[in-house]
């Protein structure tokens, strides 16, 4: 048959041989991978720590830096908060009709938010009608008062004087009638003496005198009653009308003023439905995120705005801070004024500097499902905020707790704890020997050496692995006597586990097991009350308190620690860094 596409038999054979070679190479790689994996996993296939040479480390000087790292978010130290000032009556709030897009740069006087004012405008119309009615009542009350004032003047200057004149006229007429009657009686008496007037006519003349005298007395009594009683009564009534009118007028004026103030309030509320920017800035919505990640408060068009609710924040980009939460195990080391470096996730190549400005005295509220570990909010001021820095950006903060430019230091796993002392291991005469060392600060990776080691000296890197091969001082037993088998004390990480992960006050010093009681005994009375124990130990107070006196003494704490070690709860020995169980080379 003719070969297809001009391919010769020799070319096909070369291709088959190439595929066979590649398959053989792949099989060798797979086989080598399986062998290496088996050597690493199976104990019989690898060398133990005792079968290989110890890892050595040369003691040297260098820069020692203790940093506390945490993450937080960028915020403005100077936020102008734009709040809803429209009062909510009955409902849940006022609807947002329009709002400027988030991130918009605004200037003073720019409109930020428009709220629904339709209900207020209707209320304004009704209130205007009420004000008009109140004004009419004021006019009516004013008229009543003015009428009462005029009525008093009318009586004193008019009616009273007319009544006086009328009565005085009656008196004058009565006096004249009396004079005439007396004269006529005298004339009748002279005529009667001569016999010209009868006795009956003389009696009639005498009656006329008595009548005229009675009319005169009546007129004079009228004048007396008018001046003493009628005038006073009328004036009192008119004064009462004036006072009543005045009180009514003041009441109506006050009511009218209240109605006007309510109208002004409604008009002010309508004006507040248009919210303008008081200062220049960049708009940031005041959304609130719940602990589950959802939004509890959403700022957008159509949502309700409650009275005094923050709608928008205008941050000052020149004054920015990072707010981070520091674990309670580290918070005692953080002090105000400590320097810090800041890296933003949005600008990973940019490193900023800052200073710890505030450390909260109380922990931040935690969710119900969170652990018992408390966290404290810490504010770090950013120096020279760069352009583009905005609130909400995620930042990594490193607080520089301690900086030693030239410190003698060794890796943390090269030191292990025994009793209240620390040791390192060196080679000697074909074997190894443990020697005591005084240590300083630690950053969980390196330990500063105070004394006991010299620069250039070689020590074992994995010192804890040789605890059983070196001679160590015997530790006091539980009854206070020295003796019994030597048992490794728990490492600093073991102590931290027993105390709930809390670091000792003072920060970066490595904890000593024998000093744990003194550190916890805050009042120095030789007894640990429930409030002095770490949270993880408080729940086991009944088990630790052997004599059931409600407190833990030193012997009870030692016994509890011994039970903790014997039960396998403590680490199998380790250095300050908690890596005592590592194999040479870092294999677990």
Q: What is the pLDDT of residue 539?
A: 66
- What is 68-111+283-400's CATH number? 2.40.30.170
Mean pLDDT, residues 47-71: 78
Per-residue pLDDT band for 24 (boundaries 50, 70, 90) equals: low
Q: What is the pLDDT of residue 35?
A: 55
For tokens 């009375």, the residue is 525
Q: What is the pLDDT of residue 445?
A: 87
Mean pLDDT, residues 548-555: 78
Q: What is the pLDDT of residue 55?
A: 87
Q: What is the pLDDT of residue 571?
A: 37
- What is 415-586's CATH number? 1.10.238.10
CA–CA gap between residue 419 and residue 521 (Å, rounded): 19
How much of the chain is in helix, strand and coil states, percent to nearest 5?
40, 25, 35
Q: What is the pLDDT of residue 385?
A: 82
Higher pLDDT, 90 or 382: 382
Say whether domain 119-272 belongs to CATH 1.10.3470: no
Length of the chain: 588
Angle between helices 118-154 and 231-272 (to 10 degrees): 160
Helix boundaries (H) for 86-159: 118-154
Query: Buried b / exposed e across 75-89, counting CB within 10 Å, b at 16+?
Result: bbeebeebbbbbeee
Q: Kindly report whether the global pTM for this prediction surpasses the value 0.75.
A: no
Q: What is the pLDDT of residue 506?
A: 36
Taking CA 584 as the corner, what is the angle to CA 578 and CA 588, rounded to the nearest 5 degrees? 60
Angle between helices 160-194 and 199-225 (to 10 degrees): 160
pLDDT digits (tens, 9 = 90+) for 489-528: 433 333 333 333 333 333 444 334 445 677 777 766 777 8
Q: What is the pLDDT of residue 449?
A: 93
pLDDT digits (tens, 9 = 90+) for 162-220: 999 999 999 999 999 999 999 999 988 888 888 888 889 889 989 999 999 999 999 99
Q: Are 422 and 510 in contact (CB under 8 A)?
A: yes
CA–CA gap between residue 477 and residue 457 (Å, rounded): 35
Token pair in block for residue 118:
């339709």
| pLDDT over 90 percentage in the chain | 45
* The pLDDT of residue 2 is above 70: no
Q: Are 91 and 486 in contact (CB under 8 A)?
A: no
Question: Which of 44-48, 86-90, 180-184 is least confident?
Answer: 44-48
CA–CA gap between residue 215 and residue 198 (Å, rounded): 26
For tokens 């996730």, the residue is 345
Phi first, then psi, for residue 385 (nearest 5°) are: -60, 125
Q: Where are the domains of the chain?
A: 68-111+283-400, 119-272, 415-586
**Burial bucket for residue 347 (CB in 10 Å: 0-12, 13-18, 19+):** middle
Higher pLDDT, 126 or 370: 126
pLDDT digits (tens, 9 = 90+) for 370-387: 556 788 999 999 998 888
Question: HSE-up of 85 (CA within 13 Å, CB side)?
Answer: 14
pLDDT digits (tens, 9 = 90+) for 303-347: 999 999 999 999 877 888 999 989 888 888 899 999 999 999 988
* The pLDDT of residue 54 is above 60: yes
Higher pLDDT, 497 or 288: 288
Q: What is the pLDDT of residue 225?
A: 94
Mean pLDDT, residues 356-363: 91
428, β-bridge pairs: 431
Q: What is the pLDDT of residue 3?
A: 40
Mean pLDDT, residues 45-63: 69
Q: Are 495 and 516 in contact (CB under 8 A)?
A: yes
Higher pLDDT, 194 or 239: 239
Mean pLDDT, residues 235-242: 95
Instruction: Determine how many CB atoms are found less than 10 A away from the CB of residue 53.
Output: 7
* The pLDDT of residue 149 is above 70: yes
CA 261 to chain centre: 35
């Amino acid at each position: 048959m003719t070969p297809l596409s001009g391919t010769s038999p020799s070319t096909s054979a070369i291709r088959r041989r190439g595929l066979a070679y590649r398959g053989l190479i792949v099989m060798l790689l797979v086989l080598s991978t399986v062998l290496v994996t088996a050597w690493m996993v199976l104990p019989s296939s690898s060398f133990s720590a005792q079968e290989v040479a110890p890892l050595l480390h040369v003691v040297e000087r260098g820069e020692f830096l203790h940093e506390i790292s945490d993450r937080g978010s960028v915020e403005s130290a100077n936020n102008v908060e734009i709040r809803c000032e429209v009062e909510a009556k009955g409902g849940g709030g006022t609807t947002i009709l329009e709002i400027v897009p988030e991130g918009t740069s605004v200037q003073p006087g720019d409109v930020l938010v428009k709220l629904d004012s339709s209900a207020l405008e209707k209320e304004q119309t009704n209130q205007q009608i009420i004000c008009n009615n109140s004004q009419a009542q004021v006019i009516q009350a004013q008229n009543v008062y003015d009428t009462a004032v005029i009525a008093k003047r009318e009586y004193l200057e008019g009616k009273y004087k007319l009544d006086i004149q009328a009565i005085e006229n009656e008196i004058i007429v009565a006096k004249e009638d009396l004079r005439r009657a007396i004269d006529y009686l005298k004339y009748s008496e002279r005529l009667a003496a001569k016999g010209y007037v009868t006795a009956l006519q003389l009696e009639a003349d005498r009656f006329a005198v008595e009548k005229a005298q009675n009319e005169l007395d009546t007129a004079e009594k009228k004048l007396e009653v008018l001046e003493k009683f009628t005038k006073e009564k009328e004036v009192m009534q008119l004064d009462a009308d004036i006072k009543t009118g005045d009180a009514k007028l003041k009441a109506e004026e006050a009511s009218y003023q209240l109605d006007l103030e309510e109208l002004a309030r409604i008009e002010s509320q309508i004006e507040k439905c248009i919210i303008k920017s008081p200062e220049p800035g960049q708009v940031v919505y005041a959304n609130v995120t719940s602990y589950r990640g959802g939004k509890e408060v959403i700022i957008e068009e159509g949502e309700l705005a409650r009275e005094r609710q923050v709608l928008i924040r205008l941050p000052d980009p020149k004054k920015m801070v990072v707010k981070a939460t520091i674990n309670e195990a580290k918070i005692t080391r953080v002090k105000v004024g400590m320097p810090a470096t800041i890296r933003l996730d949005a600008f990973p190549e940019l490193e900023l500097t800052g200073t710890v400005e505030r450390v909260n005295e109380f922990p931040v509220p935690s969710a119900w499902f969170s652990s018992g570990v408390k966290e404290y909010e810490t504010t770090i001021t950013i120096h020279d905020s760069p352009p583009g820095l905005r609130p909400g950006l995620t930042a990594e903060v490193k607080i520089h707790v301690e900086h030693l430019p030239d410190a003698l230091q060794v890796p943390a796993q090269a030191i292990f704890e025994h009793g209240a002392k620390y040791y390192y291991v060196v080679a000697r005469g074909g074997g190894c020997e443990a020697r005591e060392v005084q240590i300083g600060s630690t950053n969980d990776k390196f330990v500063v050496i105070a004394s006991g080691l010299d620069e250039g000296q070689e020590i074992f890197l994995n010192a804890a692995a040789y605890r059983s091969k070196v001679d160590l001082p015997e530790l006091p037993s539980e009854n206070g006597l020295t003796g019994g088998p030597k048992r490794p004390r728990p490492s600093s990480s073991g102590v931290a586990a027993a105390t709930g992960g809390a670091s000792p006050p003072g920060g970066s010093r490595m904890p000593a097991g024998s000093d744990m009681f003194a550190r916890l005994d805050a009042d120095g009375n030789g007894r640990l009350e429930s409030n002095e124990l770490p949270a993880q130990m408080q729940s086991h107070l009944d088990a630790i308190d052997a004599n059931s006196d409600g407190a833990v003494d030193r012997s009870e704490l030692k016994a509890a620690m011994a039970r903790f070690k014997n039960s396998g709860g403590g680490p199998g020995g380790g250095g300050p860094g908690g890596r005592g169980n590592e194999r040479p080379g870092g294999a677990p």
